[in-house]
Chains A and B, each alone.
Chain A
Amino acid sequence: MNSDPSHPALMRKLASEASAAITPSGLCVRQISAGFGATQILKDVSLNVATGNTLVVLGESGCGKTTLLRAIAGLIPISSGEVELRSRMISLLPPYDREVLYLDQEPLLFEHLSVFENIAFPLRMKKAPEQTIQSAVRELLVATDLLPHAAKREGQLSGGQKQRVAFGRAILARPQLLLLDEPFCSLDSRTRSHMQSLFAELSQRYSLTSIFVTHDVREALVVGHQFGRMADGVLSVYHDRQSFISDDATGIPAEIAFWKRL
Protein backbone atom coordinates (compact mmCIF):
# COMPACT_ATOMS: atom_id res chain seq x y z
CA MET A 1 0.00 0.00 0.00
CA ASN A 2 1.12 3.51 -0.75
CA SER A 3 1.96 5.13 2.52
CA ASP A 4 1.06 8.66 1.41
CA PRO A 5 -2.23 9.40 3.24
CA SER A 6 -2.71 12.81 1.68
CA HIS A 7 -3.77 11.50 -1.74
CA PRO A 8 -7.60 11.64 -1.65
CA ALA A 9 -8.16 9.67 -4.85
CA LEU A 10 -6.04 6.81 -3.61
CA MET A 11 -7.79 6.90 -0.24
CA ARG A 12 -11.24 6.71 -1.82
CA LYS A 13 -10.10 3.85 -4.06
CA LEU A 14 -8.72 1.92 -1.12
CA ALA A 15 -11.89 2.54 0.87
CA SER A 16 -14.15 1.35 -1.91
CA GLU A 17 -11.97 -1.72 -2.56
CA ALA A 18 -12.06 -2.62 1.08
CA SER A 19 -15.81 -2.11 1.31
CA ALA A 20 -16.42 -4.32 -1.72
CA ALA A 21 -14.93 -7.27 0.11
CA ILE A 22 -17.18 -6.85 3.17
CA THR A 23 -20.68 -8.03 3.97
CA PRO A 24 -23.01 -5.09 3.28
CA SER A 25 -25.26 -5.66 6.30
CA GLY A 26 -22.94 -4.04 8.88
CA LEU A 27 -22.01 -0.37 8.99
CA CYS A 28 -21.65 1.57 5.77
CA VAL A 29 -20.41 5.15 5.93
CA ARG A 30 -20.45 7.00 2.61
CA GLN A 31 -18.37 10.14 2.07
CA ILE A 32 -19.24 11.94 5.27
CA SER A 33 -17.79 15.34 6.07
CA ALA A 34 -18.06 17.14 9.36
CA GLY A 35 -16.44 20.00 11.20
CA PHE A 36 -16.90 22.97 13.46
CA GLY A 37 -17.86 26.23 11.76
CA ALA A 38 -15.64 26.87 8.77
CA THR A 39 -13.10 24.21 9.83
CA GLN A 40 -13.65 20.94 8.03
CA ILE A 41 -12.31 18.06 10.14
CA LEU A 42 -13.66 14.99 8.34
CA LYS A 43 -13.19 15.03 4.59
CA ASP A 44 -15.28 12.59 2.53
CA VAL A 45 -14.73 9.67 4.85
CA SER A 46 -16.06 6.30 3.68
CA LEU A 47 -15.82 2.98 5.45
CA ASN A 48 -17.54 -0.35 5.90
CA VAL A 49 -17.57 -2.65 8.88
CA ALA A 50 -18.92 -6.16 8.56
CA THR A 51 -21.34 -7.41 11.21
CA GLY A 52 -19.41 -8.85 14.14
CA ASN A 53 -16.15 -7.17 13.12
CA THR A 54 -14.05 -4.52 14.79
CA LEU A 55 -12.56 -1.79 12.63
CA VAL A 56 -9.55 -0.27 14.31
CA VAL A 57 -8.78 3.32 13.38
CA LEU A 58 -5.24 4.38 14.09
CA GLY A 59 -4.06 7.96 13.97
CA GLU A 60 -2.26 10.72 15.76
CA SER A 61 -3.95 13.15 18.15
CA GLY A 62 -6.08 15.77 16.42
CA CYS A 63 -6.41 13.89 13.11
CA GLY A 64 -10.22 13.56 13.39
CA LYS A 65 -10.69 10.09 14.94
CA THR A 66 -12.98 11.27 17.74
CA THR A 67 -14.91 13.50 15.32
CA LEU A 68 -15.50 10.46 13.10
CA LEU A 69 -16.98 8.46 16.00
CA ARG A 70 -19.07 11.37 17.25
CA ALA A 71 -20.39 12.00 13.73
CA ILE A 72 -21.43 8.35 13.36
CA ALA A 73 -23.03 8.43 16.82
CA GLY A 74 -24.94 11.57 15.86
CA LEU A 75 -23.34 13.67 18.59
CA ILE A 76 -22.13 16.20 16.01
CA PRO A 77 -23.89 16.97 12.73
CA ILE A 78 -22.45 15.89 9.39
CA SER A 79 -22.36 18.39 6.53
CA SER A 80 -22.57 15.77 3.77
CA GLY A 81 -22.65 12.02 3.20
CA GLU A 82 -24.69 9.28 4.83
CA VAL A 83 -24.46 6.56 7.45
CA GLU A 84 -26.24 3.25 7.03
CA LEU A 85 -26.40 0.64 9.78
CA ARG A 86 -27.78 -2.80 9.00
CA SER A 87 -29.55 -1.46 5.91
CA ARG A 88 -31.14 1.38 7.93
CA MET A 89 -30.25 4.99 7.15
CA ILE A 90 -29.37 6.58 10.48
CA SER A 91 -27.72 9.86 9.42
CA LEU A 92 -30.77 11.96 10.22
CA LEU A 93 -31.87 10.15 13.37
CA PRO A 94 -31.23 11.58 16.86
CA PRO A 95 -28.37 9.85 18.74
CA TYR A 96 -30.67 7.80 20.97
CA ASP A 97 -32.56 6.32 18.03
CA ARG A 98 -29.49 5.04 16.21
CA GLU A 99 -28.84 1.95 18.38
CA VAL A 100 -25.23 3.08 18.52
CA LEU A 101 -23.27 3.29 21.77
CA TYR A 102 -20.31 5.58 22.19
CA LEU A 103 -17.73 4.81 24.89
CA ASP A 104 -14.85 7.16 25.51
CA GLN A 105 -11.80 7.32 27.77
CA GLU A 106 -13.84 8.51 30.71
CA PRO A 107 -16.28 5.77 31.72
CA LEU A 108 -19.68 7.18 32.53
CA LEU A 109 -21.47 5.38 35.38
CA PHE A 110 -24.56 6.21 37.40
CA GLU A 111 -23.14 7.11 40.79
CA HIS A 112 -26.39 6.35 42.66
CA LEU A 113 -26.44 2.76 41.36
CA SER A 114 -24.29 -0.22 42.31
CA VAL A 115 -22.05 -2.00 39.81
CA PHE A 116 -24.77 -4.67 39.41
CA GLU A 117 -27.47 -2.09 38.73
CA ASN A 118 -25.24 -0.10 36.38
CA ILE A 119 -24.71 -3.19 34.25
CA ALA A 120 -28.38 -4.15 34.51
CA PHE A 121 -29.48 -0.66 33.47
CA PRO A 122 -30.11 -1.31 29.73
CA LEU A 123 -32.16 -4.42 30.56
CA ARG A 124 -34.20 -2.51 33.16
CA MET A 125 -34.92 0.16 30.55
CA LYS A 126 -36.12 -2.57 28.20
CA LYS A 127 -38.26 -3.96 31.06
CA ALA A 128 -36.66 -7.41 30.80
CA PRO A 129 -37.91 -10.08 33.26
CA GLU A 130 -36.09 -10.06 36.60
CA GLN A 131 -34.78 -13.60 36.13
CA THR A 132 -33.23 -12.71 32.76
CA ILE A 133 -31.62 -9.62 34.28
CA GLN A 134 -30.16 -11.57 37.20
CA SER A 135 -28.64 -14.29 35.01
CA ALA A 136 -27.37 -11.98 32.24
CA VAL A 137 -25.76 -9.53 34.66
CA ARG A 138 -24.22 -12.33 36.70
CA GLU A 139 -22.72 -13.84 33.56
CA LEU A 140 -21.20 -10.51 32.61
CA LEU A 141 -19.94 -9.84 36.12
CA VAL A 142 -18.10 -13.16 35.96
CA ALA A 143 -16.78 -12.45 32.45
CA THR A 144 -15.46 -9.04 33.49
CA ASP A 145 -14.09 -10.21 36.90
CA LEU A 146 -16.43 -7.82 38.67
CA LEU A 147 -18.44 -10.29 40.73
CA PRO A 148 -16.73 -9.36 44.05
CA HIS A 149 -17.45 -5.69 43.33
CA ALA A 150 -21.13 -6.09 42.39
CA ALA A 151 -22.43 -4.09 45.35
CA LYS A 152 -19.92 -1.23 45.07
CA ARG A 153 -20.64 2.27 43.81
CA GLU A 154 -18.69 4.33 41.27
CA GLY A 155 -16.60 6.10 43.92
CA GLN A 156 -15.25 2.77 45.22
CA LEU A 157 -13.93 1.52 41.86
CA SER A 158 -10.58 1.92 40.14
CA GLY A 159 -10.31 3.30 36.58
CA GLY A 160 -10.03 -0.19 35.08
CA GLN A 161 -13.03 -1.47 37.04
CA LYS A 162 -15.14 1.49 35.95
CA GLN A 163 -14.16 0.86 32.35
CA ARG A 164 -15.17 -2.80 32.69
CA VAL A 165 -18.55 -1.81 34.16
CA ALA A 166 -19.18 0.62 31.28
CA PHE A 167 -18.08 -2.01 28.81
CA GLY A 168 -20.22 -4.75 30.38
CA ARG A 169 -23.24 -2.45 30.37
CA ALA A 170 -22.64 -1.60 26.71
CA ILE A 171 -22.55 -5.31 25.84
CA LEU A 172 -25.82 -6.00 27.67
CA ALA A 173 -27.43 -3.11 25.77
CA ARG A 174 -26.74 -5.12 22.59
CA PRO A 175 -26.16 -2.03 20.42
CA GLN A 176 -25.98 -2.56 16.68
CA LEU A 177 -22.74 -0.61 16.71
CA LEU A 178 -20.26 0.07 19.49
CA LEU A 179 -17.93 3.05 19.14
CA LEU A 180 -14.87 3.02 21.40
CA ASP A 181 -12.73 6.13 21.61
CA GLU A 182 -9.36 5.16 23.09
CA PRO A 183 -11.22 3.46 25.95
CA PHE A 184 -8.17 1.99 27.66
CA CYS A 185 -5.68 4.83 27.23
CA SER A 186 -5.82 5.97 30.85
CA LEU A 187 -5.21 2.48 32.28
CA ASP A 188 -1.90 0.99 33.41
CA SER A 189 -0.23 -1.41 30.99
CA ARG A 190 -1.30 -4.60 32.81
CA THR A 191 -4.96 -3.61 33.14
CA ARG A 192 -4.90 -2.32 29.60
CA SER A 193 -3.60 -5.62 28.28
CA HIS A 194 -6.29 -7.48 30.25
CA MET A 195 -9.00 -5.17 28.92
CA GLN A 196 -7.80 -5.64 25.34
CA SER A 197 -8.05 -9.43 25.64
CA LEU A 198 -11.40 -9.11 27.38
CA PHE A 199 -12.72 -6.86 24.63
CA ALA A 200 -11.53 -9.28 21.92
CA GLU A 201 -13.11 -12.24 23.73
CA LEU A 202 -16.48 -10.59 24.52
CA SER A 203 -16.60 -9.01 21.09
CA GLN A 204 -16.38 -12.44 19.56
CA ARG A 205 -18.76 -14.07 22.05
CA TYR A 206 -21.49 -11.45 21.57
CA SER A 207 -20.71 -10.80 17.89
CA LEU A 208 -20.27 -7.06 18.36
CA THR A 209 -19.83 -4.70 15.44
CA SER A 210 -17.52 -1.92 16.53
CA ILE A 211 -15.12 0.84 15.62
CA PHE A 212 -12.17 1.08 17.97
CA VAL A 213 -10.05 4.21 17.90
CA THR A 214 -6.52 4.01 19.28
CA HIS A 215 -3.00 5.22 18.65
CA ASP A 216 -1.44 2.06 20.03
CA VAL A 217 -0.50 -0.36 17.23
CA ARG A 218 -0.28 -3.33 19.57
CA GLU A 219 -3.79 -2.68 20.84
CA ALA A 220 -4.96 -2.33 17.25
CA LEU A 221 -3.58 -5.77 16.36
CA VAL A 222 -5.09 -7.43 19.45
CA VAL A 223 -8.64 -6.15 19.02
CA GLY A 224 -9.04 -5.49 15.27
CA HIS A 225 -10.42 -7.45 12.35
CA GLN A 226 -10.27 -4.55 9.89
CA PHE A 227 -7.80 -1.69 9.97
CA GLY A 228 -7.77 1.95 8.97
CA ARG A 229 -5.53 4.92 9.48
CA MET A 230 -6.60 8.49 9.75
CA ALA A 231 -4.53 11.55 8.91
CA ASP A 232 -5.78 15.12 8.47
CA GLY A 233 -9.43 14.06 8.40
CA VAL A 234 -8.89 11.49 5.63
CA LEU A 235 -9.34 7.80 6.38
CA SER A 236 -7.45 5.09 4.55
CA VAL A 237 -8.74 1.55 5.01
CA TYR A 238 -6.38 -1.37 4.56
CA HIS A 239 -7.20 -4.48 2.51
CA ASP A 240 -6.04 -6.85 5.20
CA ARG A 241 -4.00 -7.21 8.36
CA GLN A 242 -0.76 -7.74 6.45
CA SER A 243 -1.02 -4.50 4.47
CA PHE A 244 -1.69 -2.68 7.78
CA ILE A 245 1.39 -4.26 9.38
CA SER A 246 3.65 -3.54 6.44
CA ASP A 247 2.63 0.12 6.01
CA ASP A 248 5.45 2.39 7.18
CA ALA A 249 2.96 5.08 8.18
CA THR A 250 1.56 2.92 11.01
CA GLY A 251 5.02 2.74 12.59
CA ILE A 252 4.82 -1.07 12.88
CA PRO A 253 7.78 -1.84 10.54
CA ALA A 254 9.96 0.63 12.48
CA GLU A 255 8.89 -0.99 15.77
CA ILE A 256 9.65 -4.49 14.48
CA ALA A 257 13.06 -3.31 13.27
CA PHE A 258 13.74 -1.79 16.69
CA TRP A 259 13.01 -5.03 18.57
CA LYS A 260 15.05 -7.03 16.05
CA ARG A 261 18.03 -4.76 16.58
CA LEU A 262 18.10 -5.43 20.32
Chain B
Amino acid sequence: MAESPQNQSANRRPMLFVVSLAALLVTPYGLLLLLSLGSGWTFPNLRPDRMDFAPWKSILADRDGLLRAMATSAGISLIVATFATVMGLLIGRSLRQRQSPLWRILIYLPFVVSPVIAATSLYDLLVRMRLAGTLTGVVAVQVLFATSFCAVISFELWNRRTDRLESLVRSFGGNSVAVWRHVILPECRGLIGVCIVQSALYSWLDYGLVSVIGGGHVVTLTTKLFGYIREASVNQAAMSSIVLMTPVIIGLSFVGFGTLFRSFRSRTMLEEP
Protein backbone atom coordinates (compact mmCIF):
# COMPACT_ATOMS: atom_id res chain seq x y z
CA MET B 1 0.00 0.00 0.00
CA ALA B 2 1.31 3.46 -0.90
CA GLU B 3 2.19 5.79 1.96
CA SER B 4 -0.04 8.80 2.40
CA PRO B 5 1.56 12.26 1.89
CA GLN B 6 0.93 12.94 5.62
CA ASN B 7 2.94 9.85 6.62
CA GLN B 8 5.75 10.75 4.21
CA SER B 9 5.94 14.22 5.75
CA ALA B 10 5.96 12.73 9.28
CA ASN B 11 8.78 10.34 8.28
CA ARG B 12 10.88 13.20 6.90
CA ARG B 13 10.52 15.30 10.06
CA PRO B 14 13.10 13.45 12.24
CA MET B 15 15.68 13.69 9.42
CA LEU B 16 14.97 17.41 9.04
CA PHE B 17 15.40 17.81 12.79
CA VAL B 18 18.74 15.94 12.81
CA VAL B 19 20.08 17.94 9.84
CA SER B 20 19.00 21.27 11.42
CA LEU B 21 20.56 20.30 14.74
CA ALA B 22 23.81 19.24 13.06
CA ALA B 23 23.93 22.52 11.10
CA LEU B 24 23.30 24.47 14.30
CA LEU B 25 26.16 22.69 16.03
CA VAL B 26 28.63 22.65 13.14
CA THR B 27 28.18 26.21 11.78
CA PRO B 28 29.81 28.04 14.75
CA TYR B 29 32.71 25.58 14.61
CA GLY B 30 33.14 26.17 10.88
CA LEU B 31 33.19 29.89 11.47
CA LEU B 32 35.69 29.55 14.35
CA LEU B 33 37.91 27.33 12.19
CA LEU B 34 37.91 29.92 9.39
CA LEU B 35 38.70 32.68 11.90
CA SER B 36 41.57 30.66 13.39
CA LEU B 37 43.13 29.81 9.99
CA GLY B 38 42.57 33.03 8.14
CA SER B 39 43.88 36.50 8.28
CA GLY B 40 42.94 39.75 6.53
CA TRP B 41 39.24 38.97 6.25
CA THR B 42 37.80 42.07 4.68
CA PHE B 43 34.17 42.92 4.04
CA PRO B 44 32.32 41.79 1.90
CA ASN B 45 34.47 38.68 1.16
CA LEU B 46 32.88 35.38 2.17
CA ARG B 47 36.24 33.85 3.16
CA PRO B 48 39.48 35.24 4.61
CA ASP B 49 42.02 36.72 2.20
CA ARG B 50 44.80 34.37 3.38
CA MET B 51 44.56 31.00 5.06
CA ASP B 52 47.42 29.03 6.61
CA PHE B 53 48.33 26.97 9.67
CA ALA B 54 50.74 29.51 11.11
CA PRO B 55 48.51 30.40 14.13
CA TRP B 56 48.09 26.71 15.01
CA LYS B 57 51.84 26.11 14.67
CA SER B 58 52.42 28.89 17.20
CA ILE B 59 50.20 27.03 19.68
CA LEU B 60 52.31 23.88 19.35
CA ALA B 61 55.46 25.96 19.79
CA ASP B 62 53.83 27.43 22.95
CA ARG B 63 55.20 30.88 22.21
CA ASP B 64 52.23 32.49 23.90
CA GLY B 65 51.80 30.01 26.77
CA LEU B 66 48.53 28.65 25.33
CA LEU B 67 49.75 25.05 25.48
CA ARG B 68 50.72 25.51 29.14
CA ALA B 69 47.30 27.06 29.86
CA MET B 70 45.69 24.04 28.19
CA ALA B 71 47.72 21.65 30.32
CA THR B 72 46.79 23.60 33.48
CA SER B 73 43.08 23.54 32.57
CA ALA B 74 43.24 19.82 31.81
CA GLY B 75 45.06 19.06 35.06
CA ILE B 76 42.60 21.11 37.16
CA SER B 77 39.63 19.46 35.40
CA LEU B 78 40.93 15.96 36.06
CA ILE B 79 41.56 16.66 39.75
CA VAL B 80 38.21 18.43 40.21
CA ALA B 81 36.28 15.68 38.38
CA THR B 82 37.89 12.91 40.44
CA PHE B 83 37.48 14.56 43.84
CA ALA B 84 34.01 15.96 43.17
CA THR B 85 32.65 12.63 41.88
CA VAL B 86 33.99 10.57 44.78
CA MET B 87 32.96 13.09 47.44
CA GLY B 88 29.59 13.74 45.76
CA LEU B 89 28.85 10.00 45.80
CA LEU B 90 29.76 9.68 49.47
CA ILE B 91 27.76 12.77 50.47
CA GLY B 92 24.73 11.80 48.35
CA ARG B 93 24.74 8.30 49.82
CA SER B 94 25.07 9.53 53.38
CA LEU B 95 22.24 12.06 52.92
CA ARG B 96 20.06 9.36 51.37
CA GLN B 97 20.62 7.17 54.44
CA ARG B 98 19.66 10.05 56.76
CA GLN B 99 16.44 10.82 54.87
CA SER B 100 16.34 14.32 56.38
CA PRO B 101 14.18 16.85 54.48
CA LEU B 102 16.39 19.71 55.73
CA TRP B 103 19.53 18.23 54.16
CA ARG B 104 17.57 17.49 51.02
CA ILE B 105 16.85 21.21 50.69
CA LEU B 106 20.36 22.26 51.69
CA ILE B 107 22.12 20.24 48.98
CA TYR B 108 20.27 22.28 46.36
CA LEU B 109 21.71 25.50 47.83
CA PRO B 110 24.65 25.79 45.35
CA PHE B 111 22.09 26.12 42.55
CA VAL B 112 20.89 29.43 43.98
CA VAL B 113 24.30 30.83 45.01
CA SER B 114 26.50 32.40 42.37
CA PRO B 115 29.97 30.77 42.42
CA VAL B 116 31.70 34.13 41.88
CA ILE B 117 29.86 35.79 44.80
CA ALA B 118 30.65 32.78 47.00
CA ALA B 119 34.29 32.91 45.88
CA THR B 120 34.47 36.63 46.70
CA SER B 121 33.05 35.88 50.15
CA LEU B 122 35.60 33.11 50.63
CA TYR B 123 38.49 35.19 49.34
CA ASP B 124 39.46 36.61 52.73
CA LEU B 125 39.61 33.11 54.21
CA LEU B 126 41.69 31.91 51.26
CA VAL B 127 44.13 34.82 51.72
CA ARG B 128 44.57 33.89 55.40
CA MET B 129 45.13 30.26 54.38
CA ARG B 130 47.66 31.45 51.77
CA LEU B 131 45.58 29.81 49.04
CA ALA B 132 44.58 32.95 47.14
CA GLY B 133 46.36 33.23 43.81
CA THR B 134 47.39 29.56 43.86
CA LEU B 135 46.42 26.53 41.84
CA THR B 136 45.44 24.72 45.05
CA GLY B 137 43.03 27.53 45.98
CA VAL B 138 41.36 27.42 42.56
CA VAL B 139 41.07 23.62 42.72
CA ALA B 140 39.68 23.73 46.30
CA VAL B 141 36.90 26.18 45.46
CA GLN B 142 36.03 24.45 42.19
CA VAL B 143 35.90 21.09 44.00
CA LEU B 144 33.55 22.66 46.57
CA PHE B 145 31.04 23.67 43.91
CA ALA B 146 31.43 20.64 41.65
CA THR B 147 31.00 18.34 44.68
CA SER B 148 27.69 19.93 45.56
CA PHE B 149 26.40 19.38 42.00
CA CYS B 150 27.59 15.76 42.09
CA ALA B 151 26.00 15.28 45.52
CA VAL B 152 22.63 16.34 44.09
CA ILE B 153 22.93 13.83 41.22
CA SER B 154 24.21 11.14 43.56
CA PHE B 155 21.41 11.80 46.08
CA GLU B 156 18.82 11.22 43.38
CA LEU B 157 20.43 8.08 41.97
CA TRP B 158 19.68 5.90 44.98
CA ASN B 159 16.34 4.19 44.64
CA ARG B 160 14.39 1.24 45.99
CA ARG B 161 16.26 -1.21 43.75
CA THR B 162 19.70 -0.10 44.97
CA ASP B 163 18.46 -0.23 48.58
CA ARG B 164 17.13 -3.76 48.07
CA LEU B 165 20.32 -4.89 46.32
CA GLU B 166 22.43 -3.47 49.12
CA SER B 167 20.35 -5.28 51.69
CA LEU B 168 20.68 -8.48 49.61
CA VAL B 169 24.49 -8.21 49.39
CA ARG B 170 24.70 -7.66 53.13
CA SER B 171 22.39 -10.57 53.89
CA PHE B 172 24.73 -12.80 51.84
CA GLY B 173 27.56 -11.66 54.10
CA GLY B 174 28.96 -8.95 51.81
CA ASN B 175 30.85 -5.99 53.33
CA SER B 176 30.94 -2.34 52.23
CA VAL B 177 33.49 -3.13 49.48
CA ALA B 178 31.10 -5.75 48.06
CA VAL B 179 28.22 -3.26 48.23
CA TRP B 180 30.24 -0.70 46.21
CA ARG B 181 31.51 -3.34 43.79
CA HIS B 182 28.26 -5.17 43.13
CA VAL B 183 25.59 -2.53 43.73
CA ILE B 184 26.73 1.06 43.58
CA LEU B 185 29.27 0.97 40.76
CA PRO B 186 27.35 -1.34 38.37
CA GLU B 187 23.93 0.20 39.09
CA CYS B 188 25.07 3.82 39.02
CA ARG B 189 27.88 3.74 36.44
CA GLY B 190 25.90 5.85 33.96
CA LEU B 191 25.30 8.60 36.48
CA ILE B 192 28.86 8.36 37.78
CA GLY B 193 29.95 9.00 34.17
CA VAL B 194 27.63 12.01 34.04
CA CYS B 195 29.13 13.32 37.33
CA ILE B 196 32.68 12.96 35.98
CA VAL B 197 31.88 14.62 32.64
CA GLN B 198 29.81 17.37 34.26
CA SER B 199 32.39 18.34 36.88
CA ALA B 200 35.29 18.12 34.42
CA LEU B 201 33.46 20.41 32.00
CA TYR B 202 32.42 22.77 34.80
CA SER B 203 36.07 23.15 35.77
CA TRP B 204 37.33 23.30 32.16
CA LEU B 205 34.92 26.09 31.22
CA ASP B 206 35.16 28.06 34.49
CA TYR B 207 36.34 31.63 34.20
CA GLY B 208 34.82 33.41 37.22
CA LEU B 209 36.41 31.35 40.00
CA VAL B 210 39.79 31.16 38.25
CA SER B 211 39.95 34.94 37.84
CA VAL B 212 38.70 35.75 41.38
CA ILE B 213 40.69 33.10 43.30
CA GLY B 214 43.62 32.83 40.88
CA GLY B 215 43.90 36.64 40.69
CA GLY B 216 45.88 36.46 37.43
CA HIS B 217 48.49 34.06 38.85
CA VAL B 218 46.68 30.96 37.65
CA VAL B 219 46.48 30.95 33.86
CA THR B 220 43.96 28.62 32.28
CA LEU B 221 42.48 28.36 28.82
CA THR B 222 39.47 30.51 29.74
CA THR B 223 41.59 33.34 31.17
CA LYS B 224 43.73 33.19 28.01
CA LEU B 225 40.62 33.32 25.82
CA PHE B 226 39.23 36.37 27.61
CA GLY B 227 42.66 38.00 27.33
CA TYR B 228 42.68 37.46 23.55
CA ILE B 229 39.15 38.84 23.27
CA ARG B 230 40.17 41.96 25.21
CA GLU B 231 43.22 42.35 22.96
CA ALA B 232 41.05 41.72 19.85
CA SER B 233 43.38 38.88 18.76
CA VAL B 234 40.89 37.20 16.50
CA ASN B 235 43.05 34.22 15.44
CA GLN B 236 44.07 33.29 18.93
CA ALA B 237 40.61 33.88 20.38
CA ALA B 238 39.15 31.57 17.71
CA MET B 239 41.81 28.92 18.32
CA SER B 240 41.37 28.94 22.07
CA SER B 241 37.58 28.82 21.62
CA ILE B 242 37.95 25.71 19.46
CA VAL B 243 40.28 24.10 21.99
CA LEU B 244 37.90 25.10 24.79
CA MET B 245 34.80 23.72 23.08
CA THR B 246 36.30 20.44 21.83
CA PRO B 247 36.13 18.58 25.18
CA VAL B 248 32.54 19.81 25.60
CA ILE B 249 31.57 18.14 22.32
CA ILE B 250 33.58 15.03 23.21
CA GLY B 251 32.00 14.89 26.69
CA LEU B 252 28.47 15.33 25.40
CA SER B 253 29.09 12.77 22.65
CA PHE B 254 30.41 10.36 25.27
CA VAL B 255 27.22 10.73 27.35
CA GLY B 256 25.00 10.63 24.24
CA PHE B 257 26.69 7.56 22.72
CA GLY B 258 26.63 5.87 26.13
CA THR B 259 22.87 6.35 26.34
CA LEU B 260 22.39 5.12 22.76
CA PHE B 261 24.62 2.09 23.37
CA ARG B 262 22.74 1.13 26.54
CA SER B 263 19.38 1.41 24.81
CA PHE B 264 20.67 -0.63 21.82
CA ARG B 265 22.16 -3.29 24.12
CA SER B 266 18.98 -3.67 26.19
CA ARG B 267 16.95 -4.01 22.96
CA THR B 268 19.37 -6.65 21.60
CA MET B 269 19.31 -8.54 24.90
CA LEU B 270 15.51 -8.65 24.87
CA GLU B 271 15.46 -9.91 21.29
CA GLU B 272 17.91 -12.77 21.95
CA PRO B 273 16.26 -16.13 22.68
Contacts and interface: CB of A to CB of B under 8 A. Distances in A.
Interface string A65-81: 00000000001000000
B165 A110 contact: yes
Interface stretch (B24-32, B83-91, B105-113, B264-272): B264-272
Interface residues of B, number: 20
A153 to B, nearest CB: 7
Interface string B157-190: 0000100110111111110001000110011000
From B167, B168, B178, B182, residue with most partner A Cβ within 10 Å: B168
Given A112-B186, A155-B269, A96 B164 contact: no
A153 B269 contact: yes
Given A95-B170, A122-B172, A108 B165 contact: yes
B171 A100 contact: yes
B161 A108 contact: yes
A158 to B, nearest CB: 10
Given A108-B164, A125-B178, A155-B266, A95 B171 contact: yes
A75 B270 CA distance: 33
Given A108-B165, A156-B269, A96 B170 contact: yes
B254 to A, nearest CB: 20
Contact of A155 (B172, B173, B270): B270
A126 B171 CA distance: 11
B172 A110 contact: no
Interface of A is mostly: loop
Nearest to A122: B172
Interface residues of A, number: 20
A95 B178 contact: no
B171 A156 contact: no
B184 to A, nearest CB: 11
A98 B269 CA distance: 36
Contacts of B173: 96, 122, 125-126
B167 A111 contact: no
Nearest to A113: B182
A125 B178 CA distance: 8
A175 B171 CA distance: 9
A22 interface: no
Interface string B238-273: 000000000000000000000000000010011010
B132 to A, nearest CB: 45
A237 interface: no
A72 B165 CA distance: 18
A125 B181 CA distance: 12
Contacts of B266: 155
A125 B165 contact: no
Contact of B167 (A95, A121, A126, A173): A95
From B165, B167, B171, B172, residue with most partner A Cβ within 10 Å: B171
A98 B167 CA distance: 12
A75 B167 contact: yes
Given A96-B167, A111-B186, A112-B186, 7 more contacts: A75-B167, A96-B171, A108-B165, A112-B182, A126-B172, A155-B270, A156-B270
Interface of B: 161, 164-165, 167-174, 178, 182-183, 186-187, 266, 269-270, 272
14 contacts: A95-B171, A96-B167, A96-B173, A108-B168, A110-B165, A110-B183, A112-B186, A113-B182, A122-B173, A125-B174, A126-B172, A153-B269, A156-B272, A175-B171
